[in-house]
Amino acid sequence: MAATLIKELQTNQEILEAFPVMKHLRTHLDEHFYLSLVHEAREKEGYRLFALYDHNKIVAVVGFMPMITLYNGRFIWVCDLVTEPSERSKGYGEKLLSYVHQWSKENGYKIVSLSSGLQRVDAHRFYEEKMQYDKVSYVFLKRLS
């Protein structure tokens, strides 16, 4: 087997094996809620979850889904992209995001879009400088009681 491998996570066991990495990005989730959200998003939104393995260990994960808006038309929205902190700056995020780009092209999508928290300055540099993304908007959120 190759040193690195990208694989779609399909079973409960595979999805749960990615949780320790995903937890670094989605700190508010516990395993149970994470698993239920992944299943609901897959069923209702076409969400896909992929992991990058290095020597059989998950070191990075990406979740994305197809969307349609009047602004972008048909496009892929990257919902989640995270690398295990101890494994950062090894090219794993680039490999996973490049995989999403290739998957998108092969499936007829010409745009990949994402949002990134204001505090994630290193991620912004990665998206803009390394991955050639354009900063085109702010994302606003209102929590309703």
**Domain spans of the chain, in order of start:** 4-130
Q: What is the DSSP code string of 49-70?
A: EEEEEETTEEEEEEEEEEEEET
pLDDT of residue 113: 98
CA distance 3 to 113: 29
β-sheet bridge partners, residue 130: none
Residue 25's pLDDT band, with cuts at 50, 70 and 90, is very high
Nearest to 92 by CA among 54, 129, 50: 54
pLDDT of residue 142: 96
Average of per-residue pLDDT across 25-33: 98
pLDDT digits (tens, 9 = 90+) for 76-113: 999 999 999 999 999 999 999 999 999 999 999 999 99
Pairing status of strand 73-83 against strand 112-114: parallel
Side-by-side strand order, sheet with 73-83: 4-8, 48-54, 57-69, 73-83, 112-114
R_g of the chain, CA atoms, integer Å: 15
Residue of 10 and 2 predicted with greater confidence: 10
% of residues, the chain, pLDDT over 90: 98
To 5 degrees, how large is the angle CA 22–CA 23–CA 28?
Answer: 125
pLDDT of residue 23: 98
pLDDT digits (tens, 9 = 90+) for 43-79: 999 999 999 999 999 999 999 999 999 999 999 999 9
Residue 22's pLDDT band, with cuts at 50, 70 and 90, is very high
Q: What is the pTM of this model?
A: 0.95
Supply the mean pLDDT for the chain. Answer: 96
pLDDT of residue 109: 98
Fold of 4-130: Aminopeptidase (3.40.630)
